[in-house]
Amino acid sequence: MPSDSAPKIDGARLWERLMALARIGATGRGGVDRQALTDNDAAAWRQLIQWSVIHKLRAERDDAGNFFLTLPGTDPSLPPVLIGSHLDTQTTGGMFDGAFGVLAALECASAIADAGIRPPRTLTVVAWMNQTGSRFAPGMMGSAVFAGARRLVDIRAVSDAARVTVGAALDKRQGAVPLPDRPIGFPFAAYIEAHIEQATILEAANLPIGIVTGIQGKKTWRVDIRGAEGDAGTAAMATRRDAVATMALLISALYGEVAIADPAVKFTVGRVTVDPNAPAIVAGRASFTIDLRHPDHAVLKRLGAKVEMLCKMLARPCAVRLERLDNAPPMAFDARLLDWIESVAEAAGHGSMRLLSAAGHDARYMARLAPSAMIFIPCRGGISHAETEWAEPAHVTAGAEVLLGSVLPLLTS
């Protein structure tokens, strides 16, 4: 029953909802398979709608498949505060990635509704469509379209391994869970996303709250090497144009000169292909991918230029073509929001520290539109996107408490 008192996080209710949501797509080994725009994903929407009915939240969606639960404020002229994350998982995902942020946000809206108070500003809980990119690559589709970084028509054309397009899956879901429509990219006052850390910094520091200062930058490439096929027994070494030899030289130079440039560099060659990939044939073609990340924009730029220079310098006697894929600069969250969240954590008695997110999140796109921030809680061993993903109930509650404390004043200003 609603009661006129300060809103308070109900940690037991939040934990029960997390466990119940984890049953939708449960793998049977502690994990969750709830990929974007599947029947399980639709069932998760239905479950959240069911929970939110008693709190009188308004359920809506937009054409990009983003899902909204709204607690209306008394002044509809004020743009809402957005809080949330994502509900989709990898095929062998965990119970907390994304789900924690959405359910912590729902718990904040539930707590405010239960307290019987109605702030001037509207609070909207959001679940972004396809953050993980597990079924449809790349991820962060819903938030990218919402922020105008990608076009709806382009993401609708992307297909999964079974050749089902995002467009067809979106239309199917709209039929399965029909909801009123909201315009893509509607204005909002601020965005805060709570998430598990997916690394071990908080665990090592034995602190329940991370104030996320930003997201490290990332550049990715595909490198195609074209040489000439030859017979392993007869082709003269001096005149070979061996694509594997060039690839080996290039990769070792990249590891030697880029990967170890400083301790903050993350450098990965993740996929390698060789054609024809036969034991007695000099390969005519080879390709590999490069994933380069760094928190400092200037360093990322400099190392990116070095990658491209080495690929040009070491190409001969083959031809090397470099295709740029991602180019996401490092980004920083709103300084005033970070200060505020830090003071909220301190006042609540939850120890916190500032840290950088190594992984990408939907908040990256929201930061383009309005002041944005993220709150991390630890996850055991830093393990995420795995069935063994685990967060402690006390940390889940602490994260939701800091989120609620951060959001409340934003609703009255």
29-68 residues in contact with Zn ion (CB under 5 A) are: none
Nearer to Zn ion, 139 or 230 (CB): 139
Nearer residue to Zn ion within complex by CB, 98 or 304 = 98
Helices (H), 215-318: 243-254, 297-313
For the bound state, the minimum distance from the C-beta of residue 94 to Zn ion, rounded and expressed in Å, comes to 10
- In order, the DSSP letters of 51-66 are HHHTTTPEEEE-TT--
Contact residue for Zn ion among 33, 62, 88, 97 (CB under 5 A): 97
Position 236: which residue type?
Answer: A
Q: Which stretch binds Zn ion (CB under 5 A): 44-52, 70-78, 96-104, 244-252?
A: 96-104
Q: Supply the minimum distance, in Å, between the C-beta of residue 98 and Zn ion.
A: 4
**Cβ proximity to Zn ion, 97 vs 242, nearer residue:** 97
For Zn ion, the closer of residues 134 and 246 by Cβ is: 134
Which span (92-100, 244-252, 294-302, 334-342) binds Zn ion, by CB under 5 A? 92-100
CB 53 within 8 A of CB 150: no
Contact 111, 10 (CB under 8 A): yes
> Does position 139 bind Zn ion by CB under 5 A?
no
Separation of alpha carbons 143 and 146, rounded Å:
5
Residue 110 CB, shortest distance to Zn ion, in Å, is: 22
Residues with Cβ within 8 Å of residue 379, at least 6 apart in sequence:
96, 196, 197, 198, 203, 389, 390, 391
Q: How far is the CB of 373 from Zn ion (least distance, A)?
A: 16
- The DSSP code for 224 is E
Helices marked H in 151-279? 152-156, 166-176, 201-205, 243-254
The residue from 65, 93, 94, 98 that contacts Zn ion (CB under 5 A) is: 98
| Residue 86: CB minimum distance to Zn ion, A | 6
Name the segment binding Zn ion (CB under 5 A); options: 98-106, 162-170, 311-319, 369-377: 98-106
> Which residue is associated with the tokens 């329940």?
208
Q: Is 217 in the site for Zn ion (CB under 5 A)?
A: no
Other beta carbons less than 10 A from residue 93's beta carbon:
26
Q: Among residues 141, 296, 139, which one has the least CA distance to residue 216?
A: 296
Residue 230 lies near Zn ion (rule: CB under 5 A): no
- Residues in contact with Zn ion by the rule CB under 5 A: 97-98
